[in-house]
Amino acid sequence: MHKILKMRVITGGAGFIGSAICWKLNQLGRDDILIVDIDRNGTKSNNLENLSFGEFIEKDEFLDFLNSDELSKKIETIYHMGACSSTTESDMNYLKANNVDYSISLAKWAAANNARFIYASSAATYGAGEFGFSDDIFLIPELKPLNKYGLSKQMFDMWVIENNLLNKFVGLKYFNVFGPNENHKGEMRSVVNKSYEQIKKTGKMGLFKSYNPEYKNGGQKRDFIYIKDAVEMTIFFDTFNPGFNQSGIFNIGSGRAVTWSDLAKAIFNAMSLEPCIEYIEMPENLKEQYQYFSEADITKLRKAGYKNKIISIEESVCDYVKNYLAAGKYL
């Protein structure tokens, strides 16, 4: 193993949020990092090209490594970002194995070895928002996710709560994260990423029509959070930052809902083009699981001591488009 004293493990470390966490840790002068992931097709290799870390271990081998006494003494923090993140995945057995059972195995190890455990939950757990978007743990059992992915995240949140681990662990409900290092995600890429390519090819951008009379076409609203803000919020809870003594479940979002129309305008502006939006039919399989509104309540995050200013949608889209997408660059 790499000769380091206290390392950080990032599961899903070659993926979107995971590689961005590694990037931010590198910026802080840390490369005592163990990347855990699976990348048999090589689609995530660009995400790691500019990063410094000690080792890369396949996800399926990592649980065996955890049984090594030598390794267990070196791990200080586990960032558990690895999961199946497809909101359209229909195989519940697959989701349970990847998003619940694997997470439980890591969580049990972290609890037994007194390692900091920071894991990815999701705003998909909030469903249609019938109970709002507060990260109050007393509301979590009432939540009704609209898809199986959200249900798998809800299941692990509940496991943590039921096993009285919220006083040790940090669960992060990520809202709509976008930014560099998401190219490998295919259809799960952000609208910013997909629309940039679409506008380059056709000069226009497609948005789903609204089937809810409360929202006009393009008036649907989501909480979009730039990856650079998301990772700042995430590492806030590491042992070397002010949030080291905080635990529980926290929303990771901007705290401000933005319409799809305003997001589209920001993309066109960043590309120095006049907006040209086409409203298209939504696939039938999405209509029953579509979130028309989401807005993170980040009161608890602020009370925990997170003071950083959050980048506006206009600034963040401009940075992403000009400095990464147009430049063909990664973090």
Q: Which listed residue (185, 194, 204, 300) is catalytic?
A: 185
DSSP string, 230-259: HHHHHHTTSTTSGGGG--EEEEES-S-EEE
Helix and strand counts by DSSP (H, E) for the chain: 13, 12
Cβ burial of 164 (10 Å; 0-12, 13-18, 19+) is: exposed
Q: Which of 149, 147, 133 is nearest to 100 (CA)?
A: 149
DSSP string, 281-328: PPPHHHHTT--SB-----HHHHHTT--PPPPPHHHHHHHHIIIIITTT
Residues 6+ apart with CB under 8 A from 249: 121, 135, 137, 140, 157, 160, 166, 170, 171, 172, 173
Residue 106, CB half-sphere, CA atoms under 13 Å: how many?
Answer: 30
Rounded Cα gap, residues 260 and 218, in angstroms: 5
Catalytic residue list contains 94: no
Rounded Cα gap, residues 200 and 288, in angstroms: 31
Residues 6+ apart with CB under 8 A from 193: 178, 182, 183, 325
Q: Which listed residue (102, 126, 149, 306) is catalytic?
A: 149
Residues 6+ apart with CB under 8 A from 29: none
Contact 79, 10 (CB under 8 A): yes
Q: Left if phi > 0, otherwise alpha if psi is -120 to 50, otherwise beta: which for 114?
A: left
Catalytic residue list contains 200: no
> E strand or H helix at 195, and its extent?
helix 191-202
| Residue 174, strand partner residues | 122, 252
Residue recorded with tokens 């900091």: 116
Q: Which residues are catalytic?
A: 149, 185
